[in-house]
Structure 1
């Protein structure tokens, strides 16, 4: 299989605001074999206050843990909310964005990522030579 194999899944995220209702926005979860420890969650420009697309990157391990129990202490925090929802909190200088996602959808995504790169085998998909070469090139 090519090194750039990717798992993407469209999800409906329910944005939690101070208003009593929650707005549903599109988002995309992404997992790439070439970055085997990370998951990305992208929001289109229409879903953000600034009107620009936003992409958060965090560890697959954090997402796996957060589906089962509260996890994360930094910019991304994840916790279960009942049996069928998971809350993701994204902390930035401008404030906190909170979204509810379907836990079954997250588990499906994580299962697809696990099929692509089994847990514990992430190191087999790192290209350290390429990463070092890129660091040296960018240092000039």
Structure 2
């Protein structure tokens, strides 16, 4: 039995679009693992997490107390979505639900992340995303994902 390919990890920069005139540059780490061949992971700093405002919940008995920042994950906020979605979104608008990927003018790609707390628009250099995908295809070629999928493990994780 051959060893599993090494995980693919790439750190890049993205621009978080705050408004038409404001944005913030942040570091984003992209991950791909052969033992989870259909998914990519995107991790960005916890300080950019969309947090629900406790003052927005009228059922909260502490709603009139001053809000304190809630600590986010120590390593950042992780989004997991289909590798195929990322690849398709480089050329055509793609996605349903929480994650949408689409080309932007010039050499950019926009990743839109939706949650109950709001929407985050991240703008990447398309070449960085293509490079990441290319390395992921070296680990598990496109169309060969199912041969790397451990169905028993995946089912156990779903039922856990």
TM-score by length of 2: 0.78
1:65-76 equivalent positions in 2, closer than 5 A: 65-76=88-99
Separation (CA, whole Å) in 2 of partners of 1:130 and 1:104: 34
RMSD (Å), alpha carbons: 1.8
What does residue 25 of structure 1 align with? 26
Displacement, 1:134?
A: 5.2
Displacement, 1:49?
A: 4.7
Structure 2 unmatched ranges of 5 or more = 52-70
- SS of equivalent residue, structure 2 residue 90: helix
Structure number with bigger Rg: 2
Q: Deviations over 1:43-91 (max 9, x none)?
A: 1213335452211000000000000010012100010002310000000
TM-score by length of 1: 0.89
Q: Deviations over 1:27-56 (max 9, x none)?
A: 101110000000010012133354522110
Separation (CA, whole Å) in 2 of partners of 1:134 and 1:57: 15
1 or 2, which has the higher strand percentage?
1
What does residue 61 of structure 1 align with? 84
Q: Which has the higher contact order (CA 8 A, sep 6+)?
A: 2
- How many residue pairs get matched? 137
What does residue 129 of structure 1 align with? 152
Structure 1 unmatched ranges of 5 or more = none
What does residue 6 of structure 2 align with? 5
